[in-house]
């Protein structure tokens, strides 16, 4: 048996996110879960990034200094890592140049490569065909993203859908109503509708603001909570002020403890115009919160209309208002959708399922003998 066959399966990951949420957090979960199964993980990441510290006991970290997606140092570092550590495959998790540099480095050195795609932004077909030819497999985190990739010219046979995963507690946390009201300055009789997302145009906060007058006409004590930060905040605040709604909308900022407050929120809304999948929706569903969301991207894979939440057409405030009013007016419906949403997350979106799905792609690419099997 050759020395390479005797050593554990070695995967070189590329993740360029500097903060430990979204895609970077999924990489952490994957490294953690696969390391427990005996994989040897290497990670190229930006020097000083949060994931660098998070995985230092789980993987060999190879931090890189570079200045954006055109900086060739990322590609040079990847080639050097491949030649030194001889990974069995390269798994690229980011864009920001990592997809081009990582794919090119793997192709140059003759190592199989996988790309995870987490967003549903369309790309020019010519660009897609060129970039994705560098990879042996492409993992999409939703069927919605898979459709975007196929439309960009990526061969369907090359794409595998492996949804993101989140940790799910044995039981969701209980709501501390008094703490919740005090934290956000809410009246005792408030109904709350929350959006947990960056304050950027494609998340659709403006549509919920436009829907608010109709919601208030049926549920006068409703308050909106916007968790997150982003460049659209100033415009959103101006819209609230112009409509006389500033006292009905709370800009809560980025809260790392937002999951603590989810059980107290009556409805989670996600009126995005584009969305690859929606981790915030998964976390809300795990907390048994009913969902109202736009039928775009991968959202319908979480928000099953009438089963785990209500779907509305994107960019239509009237439809959004009607769905929110329906839920605020029917506590039994909210409870039923919340229960089924949690069941869906437990069944399809666990970390174990995500790790197993990625390992299945490794197995398909490298062969059964090289890959460990997750426990059933």
Kindly report the CATH number assigned to the domain that includes residue 238. 3.40.50.2000
Please check whether residue 238 lies inside any domain of the structure: yes
Residues 35 and 64 in one domain: yes
pLDDT at 308 over 90: yes
Residues 79 and 22 in one domain: yes
Residues 181 and 290 in one domain: yes
Q: From CA 209, how far away is CA 136, in angstroms rounded?
A: 44
Residues 203 and 312 in one domain: yes
Residues 194 and 309 in one domain: yes
Coil, helix or strand at residue 64: strand
> What is the model's pLDDT at position 128?
64
Please check whether residue 172 lies inside any domain of the structure: no
> What is the model's pLDDT at position 106?
96
Please check whether residue 299 lies inside any domain of the structure: yes
Please check whether residue 170 lies inside any domain of the structure: no
* Burial class (CB within 10 angstroms; exposed 0-12, middle 13-18, buried 19+) of 283: buried
Q: What are phi and psi of 267, to 5 degrees?
A: -145, 135
Kindly list the distances between the CA atom of residue 107 and the CA atoms of 65, 99, 218, 328, 344, in Å, as whole numbers in the listed order. Answer: 22, 12, 59, 54, 38
pLDDT category at 1 given cuts 50, 70, 90 is: very low
> What is the model's pLDDT at position 369?
54
What average pLDDT does the segment 236-245 reach? 98
Q: What is the mean pLDDT of the chain?
A: 93
Residues 108 and 7 in one domain: yes
pLDDT at 127 over 70: no
* CA–CA–CA angle 57, 62, 65 (5° rounding): 130
Domain span including residue 196: 177-348
Please check whether residue 376 lies inside any domain of the structure: no
Q: From CA 71, how far away is CA 326, in angstroms rounded?
A: 51
Residues 311 and 361 in one domain: no
Residues 335 and 277 in one domain: yes
Task: Please state the domain count of the chain.
Answer: 2
Residues 43 and 21 in one domain: yes
Please check whether residue 171 lies inside any domain of the structure: no
CB 224 within 8 A of CB 194: yes
- Residue recorded with tokens 């959708």: 337
> What is the model's pLDDT at position 187?
96
Residues 143 and 131 in one domain: yes
pLDDT per position as a tens digit, 66-77: 887 778 899 999
pLDDT per position as a tens digit, 102-114: 999 999 999 999 9
pLDDT category at 371 given cuts 50, 70, 90 is: low
Please check whether residue 161 lies inside any domain of the structure: yes
pLDDT per position as a tens digit, 155-191: 999 999 999 999 998 888 899 999 999 999 999 999 9
Please check whether residue 112 lies inside any domain of the structure: yes
Residues 247 and 116 in one domain: no
What average pLDDT does the segment 45-57 reach? 94
Residues 100 and 188 in one domain: no
């Amino acid at each position: 048996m050759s020395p390479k066959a005797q050593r554990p399966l070695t995967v070189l990951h590329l993740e360029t996110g500097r903060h430990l949420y979204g895609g970077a957090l999924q990489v952490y979960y994957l490294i953690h879960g696969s390391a427990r199964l005996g994989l040897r993980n290497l990670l190229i990441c930006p020097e000083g990034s949060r994931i660098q510290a998070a995985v230092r006991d789980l993987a060999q970290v190879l931090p890189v200094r570079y200045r954006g997606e055109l900086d060739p140092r990322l590609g040079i570092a990847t080639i050097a890592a491949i030649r030194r550590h001889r990974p069995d495959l390269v798994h690229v998790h980011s864009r920001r140049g990592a997809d081009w540099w990582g794919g090119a480095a793997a192709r140059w050195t003759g190592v199989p490569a996988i790309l995870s795609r987490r967003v549903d932004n369309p790309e020019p077909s010519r660009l897609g065909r060129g970039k994705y030819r560098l990879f042996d497999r492409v993992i999409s985190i939703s069927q919605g993203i898979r459709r975007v990739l196929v439309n960009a010219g990526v061969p369907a046979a090359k794409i595998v859908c492996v949804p993101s995963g989140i940790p799910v507690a044995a039981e969701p946390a209980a709501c501390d109503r008094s703490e919740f009201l005090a934290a956000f300055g809410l009246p005792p009789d408030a109904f709350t509708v929350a959006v947990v997302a960056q304050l950027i145009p494609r998340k659709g906060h403006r549509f919920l603001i436009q829907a608010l007058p109709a919601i208030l006409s049926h549920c006068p004590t409703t308050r909106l909570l916007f968790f997150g930060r982003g460049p659209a905040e100033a415009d959103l605040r101006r819209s609230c002020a112009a409509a006389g709604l500033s006292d009905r909308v709370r800009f809560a900022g980025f809260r790392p403890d937002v999951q603590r407050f989810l059980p107290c929120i009556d409805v989670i809304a996600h009126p995005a115009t584009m969305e690859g999948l929606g981790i915030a929706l998964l976390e809300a569903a795990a907390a048994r919160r009913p969902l109202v969301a736009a039928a775009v991207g991968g959202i319908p894979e979480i928000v099953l209309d009438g089963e785990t939440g209500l779907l509305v057409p994107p960019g239509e405030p009237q439809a959004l208002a009607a769905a929110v009013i329906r839920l605020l007016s029917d506590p039994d419906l909210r409870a039923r959708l919340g229960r089924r949403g949690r069941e869906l997350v437990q069944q399809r979106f666990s970390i174990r399922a995500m790790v197993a799905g990625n390992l299945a792609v490794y197995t398909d690419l490298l062969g059964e003998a090289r890959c460990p099997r997750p426990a059933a």
